[in-house]
Amino acid sequence: MIRFYNAKILTMDGDTEIRTGELWTDGAVIRYIGETPDELPAFEREIDLDGNLLMPSFKNAHTHSAMTFLRSFAEDVPLQTWLFEKVFPYEDRLTPEDVYAFDRLAILEYLASGTTAAFDMYFFPEATASAFDEAGMRLMFCGSINGTAKDVDRLNDQFQKFRHYSPLVGYRLGFHAEYTSDESLHRGVAALAQAEKEPVFTHISETRSEHEGCIERHGASPAQYFESVGLWEYGGGGFHGVWFDEADRAVFRRNGLWFVSCPCSNAKLASGIAPLKECAAAGVNLALGTDGAASNNTLDPFREMYLGTVLQKLRHNDAAALPAAELLKAATVGSARAMGLSDCDVLAPGKQADLIVIDLKAANLQPAHHIPESLVLSGDRMNVKLTMCAGKILYENGVYQNGIDAAAVRRDCAARIPRLTD
Amino acid sequence: MIRFYNAKILTMDGDTEIRTGELWTDGAVIRYIGETPDELPAFEREIDLDGNLLMPSFKNAHTHSAMTFLRSFAEDVPLQTWLFEKVFPYEDRLTPEDVYAFDRLAILEYLASGTTAAFDMYFFPEATASAFDEAGMRLMFCGSINGTAKDVDRLNDQFQKFRHYSPLVGYRLGFHAEYTSDESLHRGVAALAQAEKEPVFTHISETRSEHEGCIERHGASPAQYFESVGLWEYGGGGFHGVWFDEADRAVFRRNGLWFVSCPCSNAKLASGIAPLKECAAAGVNLALGTDGAASNNTLDPFREMYLGTVLQKLRHNDAAALPAAELLKAATVGSARAMGLSDCDVLAPGKQADLIVIDLKAANLQPAHHIPESLVLSGDRMNVKLTMCAGKILYENGVYQNGIDAAAVRRDCAARIPRLTD
C-alpha cells in the first residue's frame, strides 16, 4: 500500500470541489480517500504531498503514438502536401521495431505530461502492445482498417487477439474513416459490432472536404450515414468532428457517442475549430486527444485543454463560452470513459489508481484562486510531479521509474531516424 | 567568466541555423562564440551542455506583472464584466508592497519560462523597479498614464526618474490607450517624445469597440490618428492591434513601429485574432507579450509563440500561414528590440549575456528534425534548464539562484490575497 497524505484532492467524482486529506492505494486500486484516521495500517511507502494536488491522470482519447518519428519533420505546409508527400511515404518504411521504439518515445512524453492511457490507432499492434505493457502504461487500441468488407476479418482477428491482451492493454472496434473505405466495410463493421455488442470508433468530419465528400457519396454526413447503417447500436464515437452540424450532434447525443476533439491538430493543419460549445449544450459526451505528434506537435493534455476552451471563446466572440472546467472533465473523466476505461475515470475507493500529483506551489499556479480553472488556463506539464498508473509510480520528480530508461529510448529512436527520413 | 561547452547554439543572429561549439560570458556580456580553441582561459565555472541548446532568452514585450494577484480569480466572464467588476475594484486595493510581492511572483514564473526582460505597464514603479533589480532581471517600464495634458508632467517625471534607474531597469514613454485619454494628452505625449527623441507605446485596437470608438471620436483609427498628432516621430509601437486594417499596418510599417501581439490574452477575452500574417507580409516589426496573468492566465512565451502561429493558420484556413520560426524571432529578437534592448537581442560577442539552455533531450523535443520549429510547436517551459540575465544565472534545473527565495515569495503573496480579494 502507498499513502499520499497532506494532500489537496480533486476527485472529479461528480464535482470539481477540492478536498483535503489523504489517499491510499492497494496494488492497482484506490483503497481509501478521506481524513487521516486515528489508526494507520502499514504502508510500503508514505508520500507527504505538503499541500500539493492529487487528481485523476489524463487520458489521451485519440493518438497515433509512433508518429513521434515525424515530429517537426514537415511544418507549415498545407494538409494535402503534409499527408501525401510527408507522411504516407515515410510511414511505408516503418518496421514493427520502429513502431516499438517511437511508441516508447511517446510514452516518455505521456508520462511526463501526466497521461496514463492512450487510445491509439496505428500499425503493428504487437509492437505497440509490448511497448505500453512493458512501461506499465495503459493502451486501448482502436481498430484502423481501410478498404472493403473483406478487411473486416482482419479487424475481428485483431479484436479477438487484443481485447483481453493484458490488464493494461485492450481493443475497441474501429476503422480509419468513411473516405478511406466503402459501404461494404461500414456494414461489415456494424455487423461485427452488433454481434459482439461493442462500440465503434472512427475519424469523422475532420476536414470540410471529407465531410462534404461523404454527403456527395452517401447523401448524408458521416455521422448520419453511419447511424443509418447501424454502426452505433452499442455506442462508440468519432475523432475530430470539426465540421459537425446540429443534426450530427443529435446523432451523437441520441446514441450516447463520444465526441473526441483534437483542437491542437485541427489548428496546426488549419482544419478548423470543432463546435465544442454546441456539443456540450446538446449534451454530447466530450473527450480530448492529441492526435499524432506529426500534426500537433506535442502530446500535451494541458495544451489541448487550454486550446479547447480559448478557441471556443474566439469562435463565439464570447469570453464565457465553454467554461475551462469542462475541458478538465473532458481530458480526465471523459477521455477515460470514451475509451472504455470506466474504472480509471475518477478518484474513488475501488477505482484503479491512475492518478497524478500537481505542484500547486509552482509560480504559474499561484495564487490558487480556482484550481480547476487554473489547471486549464495556466497549468503546464512542468507542474506534474508524479504519474501513477494501476498503482505503480512511473514518473516522479522528472525521473522515469519502473525500469524505463529514457536515454536508451532516445538513442534507439535517434539511430532509426536517418533510415526513416533521409 | 562562465563557459558553456558541448553546446548546440541558436544565435538568432540573422538566421535560425543551429551551430555547435561553445560560448563564454565575461561579466554581463558574451565574450566568445565558436569552436573549442586550443588554449582555454581560466573560468569561474564550466558547464557541459552535453548537446543541449543555448539560445537567446525570451523577452516579454507587453505585461502587467503584478496582475498575478488576480490569476484565475475571474474566469469565463465577458470582457466588460471582467474589467469593471473583477479587475478595477480589486486593483484599487493594491499598495506598493502588494505590487512588489506580486511582481516577485511574476518574476519566478518569468525565470522558469526562460524570460529575462519584461516591458511592464502598471502602478507603483518604485516597488516594481526594486523587485526586478533585486532579482537580477531586466525591466523596461512603459508609461501608462490616462487623462489629459496635465498628466503628461507625471509621465515626464517618471521617465526622468527611471530612464537610467539601473543597468537592468529603464523606461519608455507610453500611455494607457486612446479611449482612456483625450487629444490634449496625446499631443502632450507627442511633444515630450519629440523633445526627448524617444519612442512611444500604447494599447491599441485591442477590441472592436475601442477601434471603432476612436474612428467616431477622431475620424480615424487609433494608429492613423496617433500618426496625425505626431506621436511616432521617433518610433515606438502598440500592444494588441487585433483590429488593425491595411492602413494601420502601413502606418506601423512606415514609422518602423513595433506590433506587440498578445495572442493568449486576445483569445481568453475573446477580443479576436490579430492579423500577424498580414503584418509580417507588410514588413511590420513583430514582438510578443503575455499581457497580465489575469487575462492569460500564464506568463509563458512558449504558449504565446504556439498560439501566434496556429491562430494564423486557423484564421487563414491555411496550414502554411505565418511559419513557426517567425514567432521564435518575435519572442526573442523582436521583443528585445521593441523595448529598446538592442544589446540583448541575439547571441554574439559583445552582446549582453541574456540567454537560456533548452533540454533538447526531453521527449517532447525528440527527434530533433527542425529545432526552431520544434521549439514553437512542441517546446515547453519544462524544457528550460537554465536562465541567465546579464551574465548571472538566475534559474538552473528548477532551482532559483541569486538569492531568490521562491517559498518566501509564495508565502508573502498568499498572505496578501485575503485582504485583496475577499
Cell numbers 564550466 correspond to B46
Q: How does pLDDT run across A121-149, given as a tens digit for each residue?
A: 999 999 999 999 999 999 999 999 999 99
* Partners of residue B297 in chain A, C-beta under 8 Å: 374, 377-378
DSSP state of B87: I
Average pLDDT, chain B: 96
**Region B325-343: what's the mean pLDDT?**
98
Nearest Cα of chain B lies from the Cα of A393 at a distance, in angstroms, of 18
Nearest Cα of chain A lies from the Cα of B155 at a distance, in angstroms, of 31
Angle at the Cα of B321 (from B296 to A312), degrees rounded to 5? 40
Q: How does pLDDT run across B137-170, given as a tens digit for each residue?
A: 999 999 999 999 999 999 999 999 999 999 999 9
Confidence of residue B334 (pLDDT cuts 50, 70, 90): very high
Chain A interface test: which of B104, B322, B369 (most A C-beta within 10 Å): B369
Give the residue from chain B lying closest to A82, CA to CA. Answer: B319
- The pLDDT value recorded for residue B349 is 98
Q: How does pLDDT run across A279-320, given as a tens digit for each residue?
A: 999 999 999 999 999 999 999 999 999 999 999 999 999 999
Q: How does pLDDT run across A340-386, given as a tens digit for each residue?
A: 999 999 999 999 999 999 999 999 999 988 999 999 999 999 999 99
- The pLDDT value recorded for residue B40 is 96
Q: How does pLDDT run across B176-229, given as a tens digit for each residue?
A: 999 999 999 999 999 999 999 999 999 999 999 999 999 999 999 999 999 999
Give the residue from chain A lying closest to B109, CA to CA. Answer: A363
- The pLDDT value recorded for residue A312 is 97
Report the alpha-carbon distance of residue A239 to residue A203 in Å, rounded.
5
DSSP state of A178: G
Name beta bridge partners: B382: none
User: How many residue pairs from chains A and B have C-beta atoms closer than 8 A?
Assistant: 214
Confidence of residue A89 (pLDDT cuts 50, 70, 90): very high
Nearest Cα of chain B lies from the Cα of A385 at a distance, in angstroms, of 12
* Partners of residue A367 in chain B, C-beta under 8 Å: 68-69, 71-72, 105, 413-414, 417
The percentage of residues in chain B with a pLDDT greater than 90, rounded to a whole number, is 94
Give the residue from chain B lying closest to A399, CA to CA. Answer: B362
Please check the confidence at residue B77 and state whether its pLDDT lies above 80.
Answer: no
Q: Do the Cβ atoms of A246 and A253 come closer than 8 Å?
A: no
**Domains of chain B listed by start with CATH number:** 2-57+344-400 (2.30.40.10), 58-338 (3.20.20.140)
Average pLDDT, chain A: 96
3-class DSSP assignment, residue A319: coil
- The pLDDT value recorded for residue B422 is 83
Report the alpha-carbon distance of residue A297 to residue A416 in Å, rounded.
19
* Partners of residue A296 in chain B, C-beta under 8 Å: 377-378
Among candidates A72, A268, A363 on the partner chain, residue whose Cβ is nearest the Cβ of B112: A363
* Partners of residue A298 in chain B, C-beta under 8 Å: 364, 377-378, 380
**Region A325-338: what's the mean pLDDT?**
97
Chain A interface test: which of B53, B70, B76 (most A C-beta within 10 Å): B76
Nearest Cα of chain B lies from the Cα of A245 at a distance, in angstroms, of 19
- Longest CA pairwise span in chain B (Å): 68
pTM: predicted TM-score of the whole model, two decimal places: 0.97
Give the list of residues 6+ apart from residue B398 with CB closer than 8 angstroms, or none: A398, B112
- The pLDDT value recorded for residue A313 is 94
Report the alpha-carbon distance of residue B215 to residue B209 in Å, rounded.
10
- The pLDDT value recorded for residue A49 is 98
- The pLDDT value recorded for residue B225 is 98
CB contact under 8 A, B313 and A410: no
Instruction: Give the strand pairing for A45-48 and A2-9.
Output: parallel
Q: How does pLDDT run across A179-198, given as a tens digit for each residue?
A: 999 999 999 999 999 999 99
* Partners of residue B52 in chain A, C-beta under 8 Å: none
Confidence of residue B81 (pLDDT cuts 50, 70, 90): confident
Among candidates A268, A272, A318 on the partner chain, residue whose Cβ is nearest the Cβ of B270: A318
3-class DSSP assignment, residue A157: helix
Confidence of residue B99 (pLDDT cuts 50, 70, 90): very high
The percentage of residues in chain B with a pLDDT greater than 70, rounded to a whole number, is 100
Torsions phi, psi of A250, nearest 5?
-65, -40
Closest CA to B243 of A317, A194, A96: A317
